[in-house]
Amino acid sequence: MKLFKHITVLLLLLSTSFTFSQVEFEARVSKKKLGVNERLRVDFSMNEDGDNFNPPSFDDFHIIGGPNQSVSHSWINGKRTFKKTYSYFLSPKQQGQFIIGQATIEIEGETYSTSDIAITVTKAVSTFNDPNSPNTVPENSIHLVAEVSKSNPYLNEAITVVYKLYVSPTTGVSNWREIDSPKYNDFWSQNIDIKGLKIENGTYKGEDYRYVVLRKAVLYPQKTGELAIEPLTLDITIDIPTNRRDIFGGRLMSQAHKTVSAGRRTIKVKPLPETGRPLDFSGAVGDFNFNVTTSKNSLNANESLQAKVEVSGKGNLKLFQLPRLTMPSSLEVYEPEHSEKVNTYLSGMQGTISDVYTVVPQYKGKYPIPTVSFSYFDLKTESYKRISSEELVIDVLEGPVYGASDNNIVAQGTDKQKVILSNDQFVFVKTEADLVPKESSDFFKSTGFWTGLLGPLLAIPLAIAFRRKKEERANDIVGNRLRKADRLAKRYLSEAKKALGNKEAFYVALEKALHNYLKAKLNIETNEFSKEKIKELLEERQVDQFAINEFDTLLEHCELARYTPITSVAMQQDYDKASRTIHTIDKQIK
């Protein structure tokens, strides 16, 4: 009887141990029914560490935060407990019934997936008691403003739109995401690059604020009447001070998400005046200079020169056509090559546009190039102006005289001399010939003969050496693991390079490349990853301190960069640093 009890207890312990050793990977949501104005948290948790985590697509939601990663270890009565969680914060795009699909992860060579979760999104609900709701954020703490330089411009007159984010001194912004981009229908538009975001002090409606310029654009209206500029909309993560304090007396902050919009702007575009409009007006608006020049004034017949029609200055340089150059009919003129050297600044386009004509005279003489006129609308005087070029003369010094009888050249409209053909003007050309080489060589003892005879014999030792090398490589378990790790690191670095400009995807791929490289190179498991452990192992392998610090800095940056604004330049620098660091460690590690 006692033996039976002991066996029962032993089986119970074994079954319990087996139960606790099972891998668990599941998805949980903060709520399965929410309003369209609420936020949803999704957690993907596992009890064993894994690699290559792939979340669902979240097509029906905006990702306003995440992935946030948390890892916990605990030892209770000598038993280890591990938990790793990836968290996402979502905002629904619209009302309806939606499915959050499966997430997958690889754990000890096996792929595990979560179950689908059904979510119901209803109309907007009151969320005043939700601490993570934008309604808890003070209404006057943050503003997104579109500053337009002029609301009633002329047709084709440049205006600027500057988007500024104003934040009160008591509120902080840790991140933002663009939901809707501004649309400039019926405008020619050009975005102005901003090199780094600079925080400045200013005022908004008479109160002190901090602000940052997010975007600048230059617009040229292409239609008259009321034109709309669709707004820029952002989802912003805001840090709000609470009434709680830490052990040092500092005020604790809570995070909330708020959607802000710059608002729809209407521009009333005035037509250009009809009074005084020249007949040859092509739509140029601004302040311009006009020139017609030639590369040379004198040359011989059948030589070439270039005639340039050029407009320079400030205005809508890319939005009108240059006047055509007229030439005497006795000059051969080719189609012009158009050239633009135009830069777009916040004040508008500036630079030069030109048409270059290639001219080839056929006869001796002097050929005048008539005056060419260019008209434009001057914004300063609000009137039309005309600029005319000077008359140019092309002097052809040597060559046949047009219409002269002793030049063997017949001018157009004169009688043509008949050409009399002789009987042997064209003789028969034989198209096929039976040619025989004067000397012939035998195949025996030729180069091809010896190559065919000795080639297979020479290939045998090469095949044996190749097979031995292949077997050695297959038996090299450590080397194969290292080569696999190098390929994996290169693959993730390649994915990171493809994701440059997409902050979330880039830093996830970069962190995976660094982790997988060290796992194989140092022969450690993912759950052993820590700054101290990595530093200790690299120092044991005699890697210099600079490379260790670089690797440590990269891992920290991968964690922090997901929650702070990062430019494309900074992402490119992190990618280059990761490539250099992996290469340096790979050469030094022993």
The size of the chain, in residues, is 590
In one letter, which amino acid is 386?
R
Q: Which two tokens stand for residue 449?
A: 């003969």
Query: In the prediction, which pLDDT does 20 show?
Result: 46
Tally Cβ neighbours within 10 Å of residue 125. Answer: 12
Query: In the prediction, which pLDDT does 172 show?
Result: 80
pTM of the predicted model as reported, rounded to 2 decimal places: 0.49
Question: What are 153-203's pLDDT values in tens digits?
Answer: 999 999 999 999 999 887 888 788 887 888 898 999 999 988 878 889 999
Contacts (Cβ under 8 Å, ≥6 apart) of 303: 360, 361
Question: What are 212-247's pLDDT values in tens digits?
Answer: 999 999 999 999 999 999 888 888 888 776 667 666
Question: What are 355-390's pLDDT values in tens digits?
Answer: 999 999 988 889 998 899 999 999 999 999 999 998
DSSP state of 436: -
Query: In the prediction, which pLDDT does 436 show?
Result: 67
Identify the segments of the chain with pLDDT beneath 70.
1-21, 73-78, 125-140, 241-243, 245-251, 253, 402-445, 474-489, 491-492, 524-530, 562-565, 567, 590
Phi/psi at 302 (nearest 5 deg)? Answer: 70, 0
Query: In the prediction, which pLDDT does 439 show?
Result: 65
Query: In the prediction, which pLDDT does 2 show?
Result: 53
DSSP state of 95: S
Q: Which two tokens stand for residue 145?
A: 């403003």
Instruction: Give, rounded to a whole angstrom, the gap between the first and last alpha carbons of the chain.
Output: 60
